[in-house]
Amino acid sequence: MRVHCSRRSVGRHISSDGELLWPDVANQESIKAVQKLKPLQEMFDLTRQDHAQFYDLCKRLLTFEPNRRECSARALSRLPPKLSRELVREEARARPRA
């Protein structure tokens, strides 16, 4: 798969011709951290509707193929209203107060 972007914007994990170089250029600490991660599906209780909806959102946003990946604005616009309100509240709570 080829990804066209400037070398400066992607750092050391993408070659000049757009090929992914990870894990070739990753350090051992990074590789171990990634290997410890659970699959995305296991991070949610998919029997709960809100978890299933959020999992679906994450899956659409994290699709590897750029042509199949949904842009964030479209994905967020397709959220059920209740989940949208909950995400906005969570984000507001997470922001540091001035």
Q: What total number of domains does the chain contain?
A: 2
Domain holding 18, by residue range, is 1-37
Most confident of 12-21, 40-49, 59-68: 40-49
Q: How far apart are the first and last CA of the chain?
A: 44
For 41-85, list the strands marked E by DSSP.
none
Residues 75-98 have pLDDT tens digits of 878 777 776 777 777 777 777 765
Question: Residue with structure tokens 């296991």?
Answer: 42
Q: Give residue 95's identity as a one-letter amino acid code.
A: R
Average pLDDT, the chain: 78
69 and 26, same domain (yes or no): no
Q: 90 to each of 36, 52, 56, 82, how far by Cα in Å?
A: 26, 18, 18, 12
Task: Decide if 79 contacts 58 (C-beta within 8 A).
Answer: no
29 and 60, same domain (yes or no): no
Q: Give residue 98's identity as a one-letter amino acid code.
A: A
53 and 16, same domain (yes or no): no
Tell whether the model's pLDDT for residue 40 goes beyond 80: yes
Residues 41-54 have pLDDT tens digits of 998 899 998 888 88
